[in-house]
Amino acid sequence: MASWAYPNNLAKLSFDLHDRLAQDHGGAELWGYRRVRCGQLTAVASQREDAHKLESNNHPSIDLGKYWAREPKKSSLLPHDLDWFDNRSTQAYEEFADTTSTAQVYPLQFTNSMARLAEQSGARIILGKVENINCCNINGAPEDASPLAASDDLTGKKVVSVTYIDKASSRQHTLPATSIVLAAGPWSPTLLPKFRVQPLRAHSVTIKLQRPVSAYCLFSDIHPTAGAKPISLEIYPRPNNEVYICSQGDLDIPLPPPGNAAEVSSNRCQDIINAARSVSGEMQNGQVTGRRACYLPVISDNGAGNGPLVGHTGLAGLVLATGHSCWGISNAPGTGKAVSELIFDGRISCLDAASLDPRRIL
């Protein structure tokens, strides 16, 4: 999480809320919350005998947009406590953010903890697959409701219910509703057809290290050899001796249906592993514990900027909260606060949300 993330009006609020949540609910213990430093670097794969061979990767890749890098300072001197990255492989390094503006959480633990806290406050969580958002004319009766369709004009209508398949029983149910928050990431257009996102697939791996390492999040360009095309890695060590590493995205495989697992490319994951091990003895000696892929919701409409979209849709009772791209976990608390104000108070007061309004493109 970063106070310098995108967009500015949401990032600073979310960063402060992350800190407050961690202090109030034991975030350091429950979801690995901690402040971190961030650096960018360029490196050439080590030629030591035990280094893993790094092949030049030829996969078409798309930048995730997490950090807009500039050329780092031409210095091979890493901070003294950044001792888990090979200094001799480093060509340039620059720290661009410190613990005053940057932190991290373990996403799985964070989201599960937020769900538990919600339930303790009285929320009821139903696991299932939503099939339809049902609506009718503003002055119509619920029994006149029909599923929201691509051809529907959102104005002059209101939401009345959600139809879903319960995960536990596999039975279909319809739940009456006066307010619905659509936060389905890249799958949001399946329920709101007028909305468009570009589902960008991103691969990641996790490596378990033999010892704890310092809290530096690194944005790196790693070259197989001097002058060769680099592979860009984001490297995040976690408090549990695990390192999470992701690379650039791709559009190779279409978005799967909701609830289906993303297809994982073993070649792309191996590229990440080889690159990481070529510049770190700690990762060379670590154990690979996961190879994964996920889809990021990237706003594709020309007039929408870079997203996210948070606010009313024009359909009475339907609020959209998606399009966060790679900043979803970082901007989650601010998004939640803005949505809660919109539903309970009728307006967003915690930030200037004009640039986030979905009605700009719907």
Tokens of 143: 């029994």
Tokens of 115: 């769900």
Looking at residue 43, its pLDDT comes to 92
Inform me whether the pLDDT recorded for 54 exceeds 90.
no
Confidence category of residue 73, pLDDT binned at 50, 70, 90: low
pLDDT digits (tens, 9 = 90+) for 246-272: 999 999 999 999 888 899 999 999 999
Residue 45: what are its φ and ψ, rounded to 5°?
A: -50, 135
- DSSP assignment letter at 260: S
pLDDT digits (tens, 9 = 90+) for 156-190: 999 999 999 999 999 999 999 999 999 999 999 99
Across 307-334, average pLDDT: 95
Looking at residue 7, its pLDDT comes to 93
Looking at residue 49, its pLDDT comes to 42
Across 62-81, average pLDDT: 71
**Alpha-carbon distances of 18 from 2, 119, 251, rounded to whole Å:** 10, 19, 31
pLDDT digits (tens, 9 = 90+) for 276-302: 999 999 999 999 999 999 999 998 654
Strand partners, 97: 38
Inform me whether the pLDDT recorded for 202 exceeds 90.
yes
Write out the DSSP string of 1-17: -BTTSSSHHHHHHHHHH
Handedness of CA 203, 209, 215, 220 (dihedral sign): negative
Confidence category of residue 325, pLDDT binned at 50, 70, 90: very high
At position 163, the amino acid (one-letter code) is T
Across 44-73, average pLDDT: 63
**Alpha-carbon distances of 119 from 112, 122, 125, 228, rounded to whole Å:** 11, 5, 7, 52
User: Is the pLDDT higher at 273 or at 230?
Assistant: 273
Largest Cα span, the chain? 75
DSSP strands (E only) in the chain: 34-35, 37-44, 90-97, 103-104, 128-137, 146-147, 157-166, 172-176, 180-182, 197-208, 216-223, 231-237, 242-250, 287-299, 309-312, 318-322
Q: For residues 247 and 161, what is the distance between their CA atoms, to the nearest angstrom?
A: 40
Confidence category of residue 31, pLDDT binned at 50, 70, 90: very high
Confidence category of residue 304, pLDDT binned at 50, 70, 90: very low
Looking at residue 76, its pLDDT comes to 55
Check whether the bond before 199 is cis (ω within 30° of 0): no
Across 4-14, average pLDDT: 95
- Rg (C-alpha) for the chain, rounded Å, is 22
Side-chain half-sphere of 298: how many Cα atoms within 13 Å?
A: 20
Inform me whether the pLDDT recorded for 240 exceeds 70.
yes
Predicted model pTM: 0.91
Q: Taking a C-beta distance cutoff of 8 angstroms, is the pair 3, 11 a contact? A: yes
